[in-house]
Amino acid sequence: MAGPSTASRGAVAGEKRAAPRPRRPYGAYRTALWIYAGLFYAFLYGPLLMIVFLSFNQSEIVGFPFTGFTTHWYGVVFESPALVKALGNSLGVGILAAGIATSLALALAMGFRHPFRGKTIVLYLILVPIIIPGIIGGIVLLIFFGYSGVRSSLYTTVLVAHVNWVLPFAFLTLYPRLHGFDRALEEAAMDLGAPPWKIFTRIVFPIVRPGVLATLLFSFSLSFDEFIRTIFVTGFDRTIPVQFWGLIVDELAPQLPAMAVLIIVISIFSSLIGFVFMGRAARRAATWSGSARRRPERAFATR
């Protein structure tokens, strides 16, 4: 039913009058779907757009009515030493946490390609931080650091909390890239005289590099937004979300929307670049391994 109708529509594109427009199938269903999609995106992006809108409001009180356009509140954000420091803290921890989590995830993903004893248990252990509610995770970390006598600070407790939180996501992002990696490439390198570390630096890493970059950016984005676990272990060095929380609780500061917009922009930007790299990694895998998928005899022989 759908086949002929679309075909005829394509054929008569130039002469619309000639044929009566065929009735679309599932008309009501399509309409409902459009309404659903419209509402979905309205609820998803409406508040975000509202925040952007409000960040340019002259009013001293956060909210409507809109009393005039200004970029004043962005100036306030960047003139506040506490906020600039928090931004620096977040960037520093984010970059370090992303680097550490991605390196660990890469090592884990390499290891996970081989069978080893207790593989399933290790996998679950890596994924536990995703399952445990954030508030519980924060308390657990607080107790842990308290008992082990580690003083709360940015590059001790907060960094550990962030790596702990980011690692499972980094692993889940990176593992498919390495799992789908054609082992014959490594064997070929080995055959041509490359010892294991050369195989990694010359063959494996260059090929999975887009996946690694994507993982770095996603990890950074996750760390940059982390709040619940951070607030338990943060000490005196505040990250952006913690600082933000303080501003909401202490005073409903008029520069809040501007800050929110900055956070959103940084997060979206790093994730977007991440997706670009991810797409590149997937395309590479698709074009390079097209012929390498099927090797029935090998599969049989090595089972």
Residues 263-292 that bind another protein (CB under 8 A): 284, 287-288, 291-292
All residues at 6 or more sequence positions from 5 whose CB lies less than 8 Å from its CB, including other chains? 22, 24, 25
Q: What is the DSSP letter of 150?
A: P
Residue 67 phi/psi, 5-degree rounding, is -100, -5
Of 76, 91, 194, 263, the residue at the interface with another protein (CB under 8 A) is 194
Minimum CB–partner distance for residue 295 and another protein (Å): 6
Minimum CB–partner distance for residue 92 and another protein (Å): 33
Cis status of the peptide bond prior to 65, with omega within 30 of 0: yes
DSSP for 191-217 reads HTT--HHHIIIIIIHHHHHHHHHHHHH
Work out whether the CA dihedral 98, 100, 101, 106 comes out positive or negative. Answer: positive
Q: Is 296 in the site for another protein (CB under 8 A)?
A: yes
Of 132, 182, 260, 264, the residue at the interface with another protein (CB under 8 A) is 182
In Å, how far from its chain's centre is CA 63?
Answer: 30
Of 190, 228, 264, 276, the residue at the interface with another protein (CB under 8 A) is 190
Closest to another protein by CB, 132 or 203: 203
Q: Is 197 in the site for another protein (CB under 8 A)?
A: no
Minimum CB–partner distance for residue 289 and another protein (Å): 8
Closest to another protein by CB, 177 or 238: 177
All residues at 6 or more sequence positions from 229 whose CB lies less than 8 Å from its CB, including other chains? 134, 137, 138, 141, 161, 162, 164, 165
Binding residues for another protein (CB under 8 A)? 182, 184-185, 187-195, 198, 202-203, 206-207, 284, 287-288, 291-292, 295-298, 300-303
